[in-house]
Amino acid sequence: MENQRGRESSGGMRLSEVVAECVKRWFRDTLKEAKAGDINMQVLVAQMYYTGYGVPRDAQMGRIWLTRASRSRSSVWKVCDKHPGYNASDSDSDELKGEN
């Protein structure tokens, strides 16, 4: 514990700060790929906007990115309220389980 306090006072970062920075970096990297046309990354950016993961929560931006992704794959609308990383194929699998 003493060692951790020493690091914090000497300019080190807390774990929560490191994690927050990693999440923000993940969003920036994902956004770059989404802008380049990667549909999976477009869905992920939308989920991140909807949940506020790595970026301030913004449902309108989430819809914009899902609309862009849905031009190629309409099933993306099934995942708009899911956590980042949940994809349409997961959603489709859940529906198939319910039908059996």
Q: In tens digits, what is the pLDDT along the chain, a chain of 100 residues?
A: 445 554 455 568 899 999 999 999 999 999 999 999 999 999 999 999 999 999 999 999 999 999 999 888 777 767 666 666 655 554 444 444 444 4
Nearest to 85 by CA among 18, 23, 16: 23
Domains contained in the chain, number: 1
Encoded amino acid at 1, one letter: M
Angle between helices 15-35 and 39-51 (to 10 degrees): 140
> What letters, b where the CB count within 10 A reaches 16 and e where it falls short, cover 3-40?
eeeeeeeeeeeeeeeeeeeeeeebbeebbeebeeeebe
What pLDDT was estimated at residue 97?
Answer: 44
Residue 15 lies in domain: 2-99
Whether pTM > 0.75 for this model: the answer is no
pLDDT of residue 19: 93
pLDDT of residue 53: 92
Based on DSSP, count helices (H) and strands (E) in the chain, helices before strands.
Answer: 5, 0
